[in-house]
């Protein structure tokens, strides 16, 4: 099963959201209660993947603008140096453009079938090949139990100060995507 098996579209104010249930109530609630408001207020765009035959939402993800910047209180200097070294000397800055994956959820009936990884590959492909705007990094705040999944997909931890938090800040350098 791949993304090609489903309908894919951007959520709008008039979108009829089909039933969706994943293992996390916060992610379920966002789609139903918040996604349209985030769209209306220009805070995030949500994309829905739907099984048109079964009339239900398979997965969704939300994207919003972000940046990576050095903050000595939240990031080790070694992490910032690792990021900075990949940027040519003449282009180094105190912050870099990023696109944040605000939410990514796969329905319970479709979990464990590779759709989450496919969605991440699609987002990477879309950003690198579309070139509508400058964006060097993807960022996200992963729930603790999802950190291994994102690491497997090439994301790295941004900080060690959030080890005991419910979520961990992570990033992916889009220059690594081919």
C-beta separation of 127 from 67 below 8 A = no
Calpha distance 34→160 (Å, rounded): 30
C-beta separation of 101 from 123 below 8 A = yes
Chain segment 38-65, per-residue pLDDT in tens: 999 999 999 999 998 888 999 999 999 9
- pLDDT for residue 133: 76
With a cut of 90, say whether residue 25 has pLDDT above it: yes
Calpha distance 83→68 (Å, rounded): 9
End-to-end distance of the chain based on CA atoms, in angstroms? 23
Average pLDDT of the residues in 108-119: 93
Calpha distance 25→159 (Å, rounded): 26
C-beta separation of 32 from 20 below 8 A = yes
With a cut of 80, say whether residue 3 has pLDDT above it: no
- Joined together, the tokens standing for residue 84 give 């900075």
- Quote the mean pLDDT of the chain: 91
- pLDDT for residue 35: 97
What is the CATH number assigned to the segment(s) 3-176?
A: 3.40.630.30
For 15, half-sphere exposure in the C-beta direction (CA atoms, 13 angstrom radius) is 25
- pLDDT for residue 72: 75
Chain segment 136-176, per-residue pLDDT in tens: 999 999 999 999 999 999 999 998 889 999 999 999 999 98
At 1, is the pLDDT very low, low, confident or very high (cuts 50, 70, 90)? low
Sheet-wide strand order for 45-51? 7-10, 45-51, 56-69, 95-106, 137-143, 167-173, 156-157
Instruction: Kindly report the pTM of this predicted structure.
Output: 0.90
Q: Where are the domains of the chain?
A: 3-176
Average pLDDT of the residues in 100-129: 94
- pLDDT for residue 69: 87
With a cut of 80, say whether residue 178 has pLDDT above it: no
- Joined together, the tokens standing for residue 91 give 């282009």
- pLDDT for residue 88: 82
């Amino acid at each position: 099963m791949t993304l090609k098996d489903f309908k894919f579209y951007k959520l709008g104010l008039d979108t009829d959201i089909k039933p969706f249930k994943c293992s996390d109530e916060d992610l379920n609630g966002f789609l139903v209660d918040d996604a349209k408001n985030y769209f209306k207020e220009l805070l995030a765009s949500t994309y829905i993947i739907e099984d048109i035959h079964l009339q239900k939402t398979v997965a969704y993800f939300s994207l919003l603008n972000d940046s990576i910047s050095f903050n000595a209180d939240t990031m080790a200097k070694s992490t910032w140096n690792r990021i900075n070294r990949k940027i040519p000397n003449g282009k180094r800055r105190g912050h870099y453009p990023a696109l944040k994956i605000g939410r990514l959820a796969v329905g319970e009936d479709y979990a464990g079938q590779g759709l989450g990884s496919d969605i991440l590959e699609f987002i990477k492909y879309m950003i690198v090949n579309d070139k509508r705007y400058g964006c060097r990094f993807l960022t996200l705040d992963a729930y603790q139990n999802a950190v291994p999944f994102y690491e497997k997909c090439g994301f790295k931890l941004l900080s060690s100060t959030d080890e005991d938090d419910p979520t961990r800040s992570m990033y992916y350098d889009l220059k690594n995507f081919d």
